[in-house]
Amino acid sequence: MRKNIVAGNWKMNKNVIEAQQLMFQLLDYKKHNATHCEVWIAPPSLYLMMAKDVFAHNEIGVFAQDISEHESGAYTGEISADMLASIHAAGAIIGHSERRLYHGETDALCNVKVKLALDKGLTPIYCNGETLEQRKAGQHLEVVKNQTEEALFTLTADEIKKVVIAYEPVWAIGTGETASPEQAQEIHAHIRNLIAGKYGQDVADEISILYGGSVKPDNAKEIFSQPDIDGGLIGGAALKVDDFAKIIEGFNA
């Protein structure tokens, strides 16, 4: 079912003491404030078990930042979907632009990972988005179309309804640049229309599509007010509880 979501991707940040402090600050915030969205975090994998302990009553969803494309085996350093399911993690980010850039991940690989996640009852947060060069060349709609179709369109209608999509213009991640609300809405509507064309409008209307490009406390409300934007996948601003809280409050009435 389509829902409003604010998810924090911590990336490779925070030592164990800092991570624990941030988790307890988020727990305290969640317990004392009404929120109009689901709140998720994706800490480094080293801290997943700690996060599950802190959020023992599922106040905040705990996600991995990636999963292996292999079910099990001699893959040193990898974490499988089954491992995540065994600790009752909520899901995993798949296809983040940094994984694509630094590790050569492709849409076909993302398709494998999405299927493995779904098979284990995990929620995939599938990321897509264009580079600055592709945006300047007017290729952004085609790039996002190809990424969406190649990674997701082998799924059944019931399966794709369980996927959360995060549109992240690569040129707006960690650069301080942000797509305008209108630019973000254009791509979000484009993604939803692609899904509607394949699976029907009812299915498309059930899928949450998040924006993942430098959402900040001062622009969250305007971004989240767009009709096809259902929340954000937050990077740097998720590392400070005050900033993250203000973004969450972008959904407050």
The SS3 of residue 43 is coil
CA distance 171 to 140: 11
CA distance 249 to 243: 10
With a CB cutoff of 8 Å and minimum separation 6, the contacts of 226 are 181, 184, 185, 188
Question: Is 8 annotated among the ligand-binding residues?
Answer: no
Question: Is 77 annotated among the ligand-binding residues?
Answer: no
Active-site annotation holder among 69, 96, 98, 130: 96
Active-site annotation holder among 38, 168, 188, 190: 168
How do the residues of the chain divide into helix, strand and coil, expressed in percent and rounded to 5?
50, 15, 40
Q: Is 168 a catalytic residue?
A: yes
Question: Is 31 annotated among the ligand-binding residues?
Answer: no
Backbone angles phi, psi at 115, to 5 degrees: -65, -40
CA 244 to chain centre: 15
Question: Is 171 annotated among the ligand-binding residues?
Answer: no
Backbone angles phi, psi at 198, to 5 degrees: -90, -45
Question: Is 235 annotated among the ligand-binding residues?
Answer: yes
Contact 67/84 with Cβ under 8 angstroms?
yes
Q: Is 105 a catalytic residue?
A: no
Binding residues for substrate are 9-11, 174, 214, 235-236
Catalytic residue numbers read 96, 168
